[in-house]
Structure 1
Amino acid sequence: MTATLSPSDIAKRASALRAAEMVEDGMKVGLGTGSTAAFLVRRLGERVRGEGLRIAAVPTSSGTAALARAEGIAVVTLDEAGWLDLTIDGADEVDGQLSLIKGGGGALLWEKVVATASDRVVIIADEGKRVAALGRFPLPVEVIPFGLRATMRLIGEALVGLDVEGRDMALRKAGDAPFVTDEGNRIVDLRLGRIGDPRRLGLELNRIPGVVENGLFTDIADTLVLGAADGSARVVDIAQGRFPFAGQDNVFGEVLG
């Protein structure tokens, strides 16, 4: 199978396969959205069919739910699950503090709700997603349709006082129409270049009326699985808890540098 994949897809698949080993029988598991997460779902489907693995899965999008059901995985709602043992999801960018940008697939709201309702959050990604500072990838912000122009103006005003390089934004489209999330909302993509303080930016964005959630995931990820183009994967596990590092000298940088 790997012979038909691009180097990037080989790396994504490697990270997904390694993370799939962390899923144990009887677990309640959050399943992420995106191309890397799709490799995970397919591998878990193989384990369900081949090993008799029993899990209750909470998908983070309607697309992931459809794929999980097609793979024979039992799908439940988060309310039915109550709380999750583990969530495995991808990322569009990850920095040395395990802060993330997510939402390239438009599922950031469900992804953040599911992740924060989990005992452990594992992020799967290829090496290309690792960055020194977040912001090169456009930051998605989910907003309600009502008052969309006013909300975008307020977002622009908030960015003026924050540590970012750029302040361009655009309403995400699906063809000629606005992209619509699973909750019926819209996505505004912010092209910031560099985000100096992800935590503060996330808090300030969520204070704006009309903003539902943003794609900055800080203090959420516990473990990172990075896949490489040679099919290998390495795990960085933050055993001390979420966001344990302050300053430039941190174990994460030493392990991945």
Structure 2
Amino acid sequence: MGDPSLRQLAYESIHRWIENGHFPGGTATSEIQLSRMLDMSRTPVRSALQQLELEGYVRIAPKQGIVILGPSSQRIGELLELAASFALFSASASKLAKREELAELVDSLAAQYRKLAADSSGKKSGGKPPLEYAAGDKSAAPDEAGAWIRFEAELLTGLVALSGNGEMSRLLTTTMSRLRWKNNARRWHAPHAVEAAARVEELIVSLAPSEPFEACRRSLQRYVQLLKRTWN
């Protein structure tokens, strides 16, 4: 099996190269090339590639080498639905058994949302209501879009963490990584930014313990539909 620490190092390095675009989708490489890049033997590299194949990042093609998988529309849709299913399960369970914890999470998310909206409005709007300025902008500032993307990730991971299911939280993290979540900002640029803010706000409101589960299901469904339409 080889040295576990070398396998982990190989996995993390190759995963990082895929995530940061060093190996774009469709790129072909090989164990030999990766071994040279990592300055290690092929055994830990092979183990790392097998794990990456299981997670959907690469395809190991006999006699052809290693192919980096790009995110197809179908694959993206499936991954977004998977992330939504984790959130929906946790919302359902929390509304029944963890109402106080859920209420605290909703209060925290609502406060963060208001701050982000106020910051966005203050930078460009000239006094318009939060985020309405974005409808006419060609693009949002990269740091501003990044803040909204991180907030969405915190919303989903925080909600799933309430379930107390560590495996589900791990799977959500893996799913978001496979989606290249932090690299997808299109929904936070014109003409989608206003709708994106509305969908996120609607989702937060629907998570409140006093709101019926069906409202949460509908708001999450609308949010995922927006993600599918705007994913890069």
Larger Rg: 2
Q: TM-score by structure 2 length?
A: 0.25
Structure having the larger proportion of residues in helix: 2
Larger strand fraction of residues? 1
